[in-house]
Structure 1
Amino acid sequence: MAGGTSGARGCLGDALLGLLLCSVTLALEVSVGKAPVIYVQNGTDVLLPCTFTSCIGIDRANFTWIRNHTEIFKGVVKNKDSKPEPYQGYKYDFKYRLPPDVALSKDNREFNISLELLDAEFSDSGKYTCFVKNPKEKNANHSDTITLKVVVELEKVDNTVTKIIVSVVGGVIGLLILIMVIKKATLFILKKTRQKKECLVSSSVNDNTENGLAGSKAEQKSTPKA
């Protein structure tokens, strides 16, 4: 009985911890990614990203995509083992669809409800809101918005300035290293030259002393008497 009681207390503790974690963070959270604006070239397809998470679980979670103030798509995720699918009976524009290769949730918490826009036109530019409602969380709802801009041509990133800056910085560093090497080599040569000169001077003095030149020991001897 003691073991069963402790096991029950452990499960209760885990459950309370789970509820606490859910209360600290949002039980239902929707995200369209980190980029607030996405660009697409006119006449091409684009993916409008959106995922939602729920640590409590889902039961027929409804999601809606809204462009500016108009609904464009409505779908449902029935349970944690289901892929998102269009809402039955809802009439929507066929230029919007769910990606065919969307994967199931790996941890049963995060669900991908991204929407694909086919053959984007300039009129498709605007704000797209991903809205989710989860009946299992007492119809808790959450949303996030992303801006789409349809352009004539996507801008190519020019790295010329960056390359120039990197080249200049690299050249300066290389020049500083070369100067330091030359300085060290010059000091080394000067040191060796000075030591050689000192050696020559010392050797010359010794030779003069031994040959009886001025200042040598020979001058210091007394002159012999007649």
Structure 2
Amino acid sequence: MARGGGRLRAALLGLLVSCWAALALDVSVGKATTIFHQNGTDVLLPCTFTACIGFENAEFTWWFNATKLYSGMVRSKNVRPVCKLCNPRVQLPEVPLHKDSREYNLSIVLLSVDFSDSGKYTCAVKNPKEKGAEHNATIALAVVVELEKVDKTLTKIIAAVVGGVIGLLVLGLLLKKLVLFGLKKRKEKNNECLVSSSGNDHTENGLPASKADQKAAPKA
């Protein structure tokens, strides 16, 4: 039983260590899986990594398909990367360093792309604090003649229709209020007429007037 319990504890410990190591450093190239970019222009290839346990002298490499494109080293989070394998077509963007953030920016700018630059770009990072374990993320670049212009005609039509419907609803509510107001005023006027007519009948043609006439008649 003791040996069985020891093996179970060792297995659980190994599983926890594996999970912790997998979560210790994370590399991301953003949510987009493919970047479409115009021929002859510069393109930013995004990459960030986070290290929960911190890092020191972390090595990073950018791969284009199976070819090493650029590599460097990040000594600490408070300094900018140092180039090890430089490339005249690759630049590091000027990005702010956040001392309180665990995220470090390893994005690169690929200058004057052409159609031959279309392919997969992988950002890989090794952290010595993780015994050289490598983490990576891949993004695709598609170089096109011209970026497609978004046709906003349908959007404008939809917006116009929605605006028209809202306008009609508001107009309908206003008309309803006006009709109800008119009916209310008409009802009040009819009530006033009924009250006035009822008073005239009692004083001129009704019983009280007849009694008054009888009292005023002279005795023979």
TM category (shorter chain) comes to: 0.7 to 0.9
Q: Where do 5+ consecutive residues of structure 1 fail to align?
A: 1-19
**1:161 matched to which residue of 2?**
154
Identify the residue that residue 41 of structure 2 maps to in structure 1. Answer: 44
Instruction: Select the residue among 172, 176, 180 that pairs with 1:183.
Output: 176
Is the Cα contact below 8 Å between 2:119 and 2:142 reproduced in 1? Answer: yes
Name the aligned partner's letter for residue 194 of structure 2.
V
Contact 1:208 1:216 in 2 (8 A): no
Contact 2:78 2:99 (C-alpha < 8 Å) held by counterparts: no
Aligned to 1:96: 90
Letter paired with 1:31: S
Deviation at 1:58? 2.1
State how far apart, in whole Å, the 1-side matches of 2:182 and 2:100 are.
70
SS of residue paired to 2:100: coil
The structure 1 segments of at least 4 consecutive aligned residues displaced by more than 4 Å after TM superposition are 215-222
Q: Which residue of 1 aligns with 2:58?
A: 61
User: Is 1:114 paired with 2:107?
Assistant: yes
For residue 131 of structure 2, what is the amino acid of its counterpart?
A: K
Query: Hey, what does 1:83 align to over in structure 2?
Result: 80
Q: Which runs of 5+ in 2 are unaligned?
A: 1-16
What's 1:26 paired with? 23
User: In the alignment, residue 96 of structure 1 is paired with which amino acid?
Assistant: V
Q: TM-score, normalised by structure 1?
A: 0.76
Among 118, 122, 144, which residue is 1:151 paired with?
Answer: 144
User: How far off is 1:148 after superposition?
Assistant: 0.8
Q: Once the two structures are superposed, what CA deviation does each residue of 1:159-180 show, in whole Å capped at 9, x if it has no partner?
A: 3322322222222122112211
- Shift, 1:119, TM fit: 0.8
- Is the 8 Å Cα contact of residues 28 and 140 (structure 1) preserved in structure 2? no
- RMSD value, Cα: 2.8
State whether residues 61 and 72 of structure 2, in contact with CA within 8 Å, keep that contact through their aligned partners in structure 1. Answer: yes
Q: Which amino acid aligns with 1:148?
A: L
Asked if 1 retains the 8 angstrom alpha-carbon contact of 2:21 and 2:130, the reply is: no
